[in-house]
């Protein structure tokens, strides 16, 4: 495994991660996908879930919501760009954040019920974001990963 | 001495005004820094999404998607971005002037509706009795993409429903802290050349990825997972949202910087005013003393 993948995770707000990794796995709309070095160029759209990069045998997980992934060859190396609407390293999802996220999701749900369709899209996005955070944090709670 | 007391009071009031304007200047400066930083950091995303879009359709002319197709007819939707609060120099009036040009042009047979972002623009448009289909005034100072979602969804829904043939945005371009330019841009249908320009502009500060984008766009054969048209559609939607987001950020940065400049001018003017008033005050004080002395010596002279 001498070859590495250049991984970039980008959100509209900022660049979340730029690192050389051994492999990267993400949830696409069609299923789960793992990219190894020398992968052919590929474009896929992402589902909300966790993007897991493998660096020196250690997983580095991120919670992402929506977006695309692009795999291409750049200067002989494979580069992967993840364009997510929202992305966060799992370690930043502390219990406190999770609790707040859960509360927020609940609150949004009740609000959405009361409010009807007016701001539905906004609620939907927020809700999905909150739920994804909770789901991914729960998933990684007992597992080991690199911070 | 009655005059000097009044002057003293005025000096005091100008001084407290200066304190307020100075504070507002500092607040605007720090807000501007943040706004500019987020404008810059969103560029990378825009570049990459453009990269993917160009990769998806080997040549741009091949793209066939409702959001890319030009429509006949002149029903227009104008998104009008202003600030919620005043005291920011000519910022609001300039962009309003620009928007009114468009509004007047389209007066005759074509329909023009508005979405206003920011209270000031809303008030201005309501005053002249335009049809406003939605108003957004609750945007936070630190705009994130999810705050833009309601706006872009509304716009896309109205556009795909065929109610409008064109969606324009009136916003303020942030050029530097000293210069901002009101501008009108078309967001829908996505004009390919416009988009190219937008990305090129964005890429200036950040040349490497855009060079890559330009150089390689047509050469790589991508494996596409899922439906190509679907991917293209969601990418187009994202790009639209991204554009609106970018314009909001630009406007926000412009607002803060023009407020900063306005407040700076106000502080300077207040300083000058204080100097002038102090001079007048000292003169009045001196005159009072001179008068008293001459009165005393006159009294002395009459006694002796």
Find the residue in B nearest to A84 (Cα): B45
Supply angle C-alpha B151, B155, B159, rounded to 5.
Answer: 175
Structure token pair of residue B200: 């090129």
pLDDT at B198: 61
Q: Is A75 touching B (CB cutoff 8 A)?
A: no
Domains of chain B: 31-258 (3.40.1380.10)
How many Cβ atoms are within 10 Å of B215's Cβ, its own excluded?
Answer: 9
Chain A residues within 8 A of B245 when measuring between CB atoms: 12
pLDDT band of B22, cuts 50, 70, 90 = very high
Q: Closest partner residue to B245 among A10, A12, A129, by Cβ?
A: A12
Enumerate the residues of chain A whose CB falls inside 8 A of the CB of residue B225.
28-30, 33, 42-45
* Residues of chain A contacting B212 with CB distance shorter than 8 Å: 74
pLDDT number for residue A120: 62
Q: Inter-chain contact A86–B146, Cβ cutoff 8 Å?
A: yes
Nearest-Cα distance to chain A for B11, in Å, is: 46
B204: pLDDT strictly greater than 60: no
Q: Does A42 touch chain B (CB under 8 A)?
A: yes
Candidates A13, A44, A73; nearest CB to B42: A13
| pLDDT given for residue B42 in this prediction | 77
The CA distance from B214 to the nearest CA of chain A, in Å, is 13
Lowest mean pLDDT among B49-58, B71-80, B124-133, B278-287: B49-58
* Residue with more model confidence, B228 or B30: B30
Give A72's contacts (C-beta < 8 A, 6+ positions apart): A41, A78, A79, A81, B55, B216, B220, B222
| B52 interface with A at CB cutoff 8 Å | yes
What pLDDT does residue B108 have? 64
User: How much of chain B exceeds pLDDT 90, in percent?
Assistant: 21
B61-87 tens-digit pLDDT = 566 677 777 777 778 888 888 888 888
* Higher pLDDT among residues A36 and B188, named by residue: A36
Mean pLDDT for each consecutive 10-residue tract of chain A (147 residues)? 81 83 87 87 84 85 84 81 83 72 75 60 71 78 70
Helix or strand (DSSP H, E) at B172? strand B166-174
**Predicted pLDDT of residue B212:** 44
Is residue B23's pLDDT more than 90? yes
**Inter-chain contacts counted by CB atoms under 8 A, chains A and B:** 89
Give tens-digit pLDDT for B135-174: 888 777 777 777 787 888 888 888 888 888 888 889 888 8
**Average pLDDT score, chain B:** 80
Q: Where residue B210 falls among pLDDT bands split at 50, 70, 90?
A: very low
Q: Test B45 with A40 for CB contact under 8 angstroms.
A: no
User: Average pLDDT in the B40-49 region?
Assistant: 76
Which residues in chain B touch residue A13, judged by CB atoms under 8 angstroms apart? 38, 41-42, 144-145
Cα–Cα distance, A136 to A50 (Å, whole number):
6
Distance CA B249, CA B252 (A): 5
Flag if A85 and B216 touch (Cβ within 8 Å). no
What is the pLDDT, as a whole number, of residue B208? 43
Q: Please list every residue in chain A whose beta carbon sits closer than 8 Å to the beta carbon of residue B149.
A: 121-122, 125
The angle at the Cα of A63, spanning A59 to A65, to the nearest 5 degrees, equals 140
Strand order of the sheet with strand B131-136?
B131-136, B112-117, B76-81, B166-174, B180-188
- Band of pLDDT at residue B192, cut at 50, 70 and 90: low
CB atoms within 10 A of CB A87: 23
What pLDDT was estimated at residue B64? 66
Identify the burial level of B118 via C-beta atoms within 10 angstroms of its C-beta, where 0-12 means exposed, 13-18 middle and 19 or more buried: buried
Higher pLDDT, B45 or B117: B117
- How far apart CA A5 and CA A53 sit, in angstroms, is 10
Comparing CB atoms, the residue among B145, B153, B221 nearest residue A121 is B153
Q: Which tokens belong to B100?
A: 């009114």
pLDDT higher than 70, residue B196: no
Q: Burial letters for A54-81: b for 16+ Cβ neighbours within 10 Å, e otherwise?
A: bbeeebbbbbbbbbbbbbbeeeeebbbb
């Amino acid at each position: 495994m001498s070859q590495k993948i250049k991984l970039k995770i980008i959100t509209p707000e900022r660049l979340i991660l730029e690192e050389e990794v051994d492999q990267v796995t993400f949830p696409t709309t069609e299923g789960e996908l793992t990219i190894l070095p020398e992968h052919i160029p590929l474009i896929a759209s992402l589902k909300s879930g966790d993007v897991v990069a493998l660096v020196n045998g250690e997983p580095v997980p991120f919670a992402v919501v929506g977006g695309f992934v692009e795999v291409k060859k750049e200067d002989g190396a494979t580069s992967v760009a993840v364009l997510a609407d929202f992305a966060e390293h799992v370690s930043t999802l502390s219990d406190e954040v999770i609790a707040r996220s859960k509360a927020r999701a609940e609150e949004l749900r009740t609000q959405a019920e009361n409010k009807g369709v007016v701001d539905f899209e906004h609620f939907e996005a927020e809700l999905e974001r909150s739920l994804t955070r909770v789901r991914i944090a729960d998933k990684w709670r007992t597992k080991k990963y690199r911070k | 001495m009655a005059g000097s007391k009044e002057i003293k009071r005025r000096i005091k009031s100008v001084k407290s005004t200066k304190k307020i304007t100075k504070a507002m200047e500092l607040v605007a400066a720090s807000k501007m820094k943040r706004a500019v930083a987020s404008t810059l950091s969103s560029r990378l995303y825009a570049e990459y999404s453009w990269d993917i879009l160009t990769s998806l359709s080997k040549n741009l002319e091949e793209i066939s998607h409702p959001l890319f197709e030009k429509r006949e007819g002149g029903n227009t939707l104008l998104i009008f971005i202003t600030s919620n609060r005043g005291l920011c120099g000519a910022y609001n009036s300039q962009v309003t002037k620009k928007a009114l040009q468009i509004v007047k042009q389209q007066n005759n047979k074509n329909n023009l509706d508005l979405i206003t972002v920011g209270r000031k623009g809303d008030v201005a448009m309501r005053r002249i009795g335009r049809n406003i289909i939605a108003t957004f005034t609750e945007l936070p100072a630190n705009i994130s993409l999810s705050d833009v979602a309601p706006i872009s969804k509304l716009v896309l829904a109205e556009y795909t429903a065929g109610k409008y043939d064109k969606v324009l945005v009136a916003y303020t371009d942030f050029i530097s802290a000293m210069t901002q330019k009101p501008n009108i841009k078309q967001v829908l249908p996505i004009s390919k050349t416009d988009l190219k320009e937008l990305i090129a502009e964005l890429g200036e500060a950040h040349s490497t990825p855009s060079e890559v984008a330009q150089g390689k766009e047509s050469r790589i054969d991508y494996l596409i997972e899922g439906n190509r048209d679907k991917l293209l559609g969601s990418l187009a939607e994202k790009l639209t949202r991204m554009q609106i987001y970018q314009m909001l950020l630009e406007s926000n940065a412009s607002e803060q910087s023009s407020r900063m400049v306005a407040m700076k001018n106000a502080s300077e003017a207040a300083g000058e005013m204080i100097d002038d008033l102090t001079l007048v005050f000292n003169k009045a004080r001196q005159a009072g003393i001179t008068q008293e002395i001459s009165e005393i010596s006159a009294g002395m002279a009459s006694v002796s």
